[in-house]
Amino acid sequence: MFFINFKLMMFIFLLFPFVANGNQKSDLNNSENYKLNKESDFLKLKKEGKPVISDKWMVVTANIQASKIAAKILKNGGTATDAMISAQLVLGLVEPESSGLGGGAFLVYFDNKTKEVITLDGRETAPILIKENIFQDTNGNPLKFFDAVVGGKSVGTPGTPALLEEAYKRWGKTEWSLLFEDAINLSKNGFVISKKLSSSIKRSKSSLSKFLNTKTYFLPNGTPLKSGNIHYNKNYADTLKAFAKEGSKVFYQGFIANDIISTVNNASLNPGVLSLKDMHNYKVIQREPVCSKYREYEVCGMGPPSSGALTIAQILGIIENYDISKLGPKNPKTWRLIGDASRLAFADRSLYMADSDYVDVPINELISKIYLNERSQLMGTKNFGSIQTN
């Protein structure tokens, strides 16, 4: 049986970085030739507060195993998109609690030749048969988080496979199948369990124990996978082989699609309503990025249905009214300003931001300099306390 390497109890998503154009202080720094061969090297620099600056390229992921493989792709002449794909395939193996082929993703791409920001929406979509009260109890009250998310009914149509293929068609160069080789080898020959994965398994032991596949894989003999140990996932290797050979269609109309639907709809707890029609109809959508000015910078990111770029734009637009550079990065008042600006932005996020295919999201109004200046004045009121910047 195909084993999809993600947890049924959560939507999994990947947020790609924002793009900021403008001269930065770091642009004046010379690159340093760090020899970063071990995870401890990175942690040492982090502890010392030292930046790592590169002349040509840099890979940043949540796991060193993914970063090394993406770096290898770049060293061999691959594009940033090639490296991203290889990294994502590895992340689905080494950090399935956060990222995987069974979930969805947003992608922010900056074309340095055309200076264009392109954003692709590859997030999950809700099944056609979904009901608006699916996450309410019989009295119409919202279910508790884990009562709602554990099981099959919280699972949407996966978007990551289609997004990776779409990105490759636009910007890929390395042979498609070569991007899968390292992830396949790690799956078959063993990968290192990270502290993050191990701790996530321990925290989710109760939920993982409810399903045979997750219990067998993450809790062998009832014991959570231990940090530093070598683990194997040959089923994931088989999945990647099929993906490499047949492309993303195997997830949407092939045997993997059928297995996903069967797993979701026949879940022993909270079965879902996913269908082949949902899988067949899935499409990656190019959407308009959200861009805003912050001092001398233009900051761009993923627009709705993501709230990321709008929320960041609001936070920056609010703190722009204060001289935080004068306060300095280690001043508690600086973090108080950022914290309160975040509170205001997240209040708007809850009230105004949603899926723009179904809800009118007032993008321009939310990032208006006039509006954000008015919002910034609230940080000096009684509700927020008095904030002095001098």
- In this prediction, residue 38 carries a pLDDT of 63
> Is 240 within 8 Å of 187 (Cβ atoms)?
yes
Using the structure block, give the residue that is written with the tokens 């006039």: 370
CB atoms under 10 Å from CB of 323, counted, come to 11
d(CA 252, CA 342): 39
Q: Structure tokens of 330? A: 């280690």
Q: Structure tokens of 268? A: 């022993």
Angle among Cα 269, 270, 272 to the nearest 5 degrees reads 125
- For 296-321, what is the mean pLDDT? 96
Nearest to 39 by CA among 17, 68, 16: 68
d(CA 303, CA 288): 7
d(CA 15, CA 267): 28
SS3 per-residue string spanning 25-81: HHHHCCCCCCCCCCHHHHHHHHHHCCCCCCCCCCCCCCCHHHHHHHHHHHHCCCCHH
**Is the bond preceding residue 158 a cis peptide, omega within 30 degrees?**
no
- In this prediction, residue 36 carries a pLDDT of 57
Give 333-366 pLDDT, tens digit per residue. 999 999 999 999 999 999 999 999 999 999 999 9
- For 247-256, what is the mean pLDDT? 95
- In this prediction, residue 213 carries a pLDDT of 93
> Is 104 within 8 Å of 12 (Cβ atoms)?
yes
- In this prediction, residue 295 carries a pLDDT of 93
- For 194-217, what is the mean pLDDT? 95
- In this prediction, residue 56 carries a pLDDT of 84
- Residue 387: which pLDDT band, with cuts at 50, 70 and 90? very low
Q: Supply the pTM of this predicted model.
A: 0.86
- In this prediction, residue 200 carries a pLDDT of 96
- In this prediction, residue 35 carries a pLDDT of 58
- Residue 2: which pLDDT band, with cuts at 50, 70 and 90? very low
Give 139-190 pLDDT, tens digit per residue. 999 999 999 999 999 999 999 999 999 999 999 999 999 999 999 999 999 9
d(CA 134, CA 153): 8
pLDDT over 80 (residue 285): yes
pLDDT over 60 (residue 22): no
- In this prediction, residue 53 carries a pLDDT of 74
- Residue 50: which pLDDT band, with cuts at 50, 70 and 90? confident
d(CA 277, CA 275): 5
Nearest to 159 by CA among 234, 245, 99, 70: 99
- In this prediction, residue 382 carries a pLDDT of 56
- Residue 329: which pLDDT band, with cuts at 50, 70 and 90? confident
d(CA 99, CA 102): 8
209 DSSP β-pair partners: none
Q: Say whether 297 sits in a helix, a strand or coil.
A: strand
Set out the domains of the chain in order of their start, with CATH numbers.
13-286 (no CATH), 289-380 (1.10.246.130)
Q: Say whether 107 sits in a helix, a strand or coil.
A: strand
Nearest to 135 by CA among 152, 149, 155: 149
Angle among Cα 132, 137, 142 to the nearest 5 degrees reads 70
- In this prediction, residue 51 carries a pLDDT of 77
**What percentage of the chain has pLDDT greater than the value 90?**
80
Average pLDDT across the chain, whole number: 88
Query: 27-31, 109-113, 247-251 — which is least confidently predicted?
Result: 27-31
d(CA 305, CA 352): 11
